[in-house]
Amino acid sequence: MRYINLGNTGLKVSRLCLGCMTYGATGNGSSSTGHAWTLDEETSRPFFRAALEAGINFFDTANGYSAGTSEEFTGRAIKAMARRDEVVIATKAYIPWRNAPNAGGLSRKALFQAIDDSLRRLGTDYIDLYQIHRWDNDTPIEETMEALHDIVKAGKARYIGASSMWAWQFSKAQHVAQTNGWTRFVSMQPEVNLLYREEEREMIPLCIDQGVGVLPWSPLARGKLARSWDAATTRSRTDQFSQFLFGKTEDEDRQVVDAVLALARKRGVAPAQIALAWLLAKPGITAPIIGASKPEHLTDAIAALDLVLEGAEIEALEAPYVPHAVVGLSFSAPFRGRITPPSAIEQGDR
């Protein structure tokens, strides 16, 4: 395993981060029961062990994944298998945990409640990387950044980060923090993969310039880059968020997947290795957040660390791409007026 500093900090993280949204209460897709494709606690344990044995020290979850049970599974697994001082636990806040005022969002009240709830579920005294899951249009950014600063100063989090938003929003948050002497974000979680490269325009250059670590979510585009276009899985059949992200660009995206499959056949490797090797080679990328529900998912991701693509191969992979509409910056944009977004949107990051 290779390790890298997270942004301009001294924090060492593995070049791969295990995304833990796959692990949580299994259900029918509602926020109270979880998704049909998540793994229960017993089934998920071997993936934590395999990740740790491979040298992965970085684990990402969120308070909104499977109604908080992802945090519970993650916390118990890490406590049983690793030394706390050797692992980096990341979680997030913003997603409503009940359909009620103040039970979600990025207000001071909500964040102080959310951090305590996450600490309890994770069974730890502190969170290494505490992230805002999205931008909150209903809360002044000054209130959010001061609350996050106070959470860090209280010892409940070591660093703070953010996830998908407009580059101007991220820049504004950093400016507000710097102006007031508050803690700044050290990382950004945007969606980046061969099917969605819009963050290369503004967000990633901003992060490179400012020394912010980039932790791409959905590096395999919800699995689309890891299999033939027409292959079906339980997740592909039930994942409504995938349709939200890619439903309008299927014809264009199929051509990119075909390019990945062609290169994978030529190289004699799994398509997932090709897609991840491309991402790992891009400027500014710190650690893609990988999902794993089968042993080969981890094996392929680790193998991608040693796969070096040639310039002509990268050009062939990128050639079919066409500009996409910007999506994924808001959970509830298609569902304005609801306090709690539907579960298909609220748990959509991998």
* DSSP-derived 3-state class of residue 347: coil
* DSSP-derived 3-state class of residue 90: strand
Helix 141-153 × helix 167-180 angle, to 10°:
60
Question: b vs e for 115-129, b when ≥16 Cβ sit within 10 Å of the residue's Cβ?
Answer: beebbebbebebbbb
Output the six-digit token pair for 313: 């191969």
DSSP-derived letter for residue 282 is: S
Q: Count other C-beta atoms under 10 Å from residue 92's C-beta.
A: 26
Q: What are phi and psi of 228, to 5 degrees?
A: -65, 155
Q: Which ranges in 182-338 belong to alpha helices (H)?
A: 203-210, 234-238, 240-246, 250-267, 271-280, 295-304, 311-318
Q: Which of 65, 130, 159, 196 is catalytic?
A: 65
Q: Which ranges in the chain belong to alpha helices (H)?
A: 41-53, 69-81, 108-122, 141-153, 167-180, 203-210, 234-238, 240-246, 250-267, 271-280, 295-304, 311-318, 343-346
Whether 65 is catalytic: yes
Pairing of strands 3-5, 12-14: antiparallel
- Do 38 and 61 form a contact (C-beta atoms < 8 A)? no
- Give CA–CA dist 88/159, Å, rounded: 11
- Do 103 and 346 form a contact (C-beta atoms < 8 A)? no
- Give CA–CA dist 290/54, Å, rounded: 14
Q: Which of 263, 282, 277 is CA-nearest to residue 308?
A: 277
Q: Which residues are marked as active site? A: 65
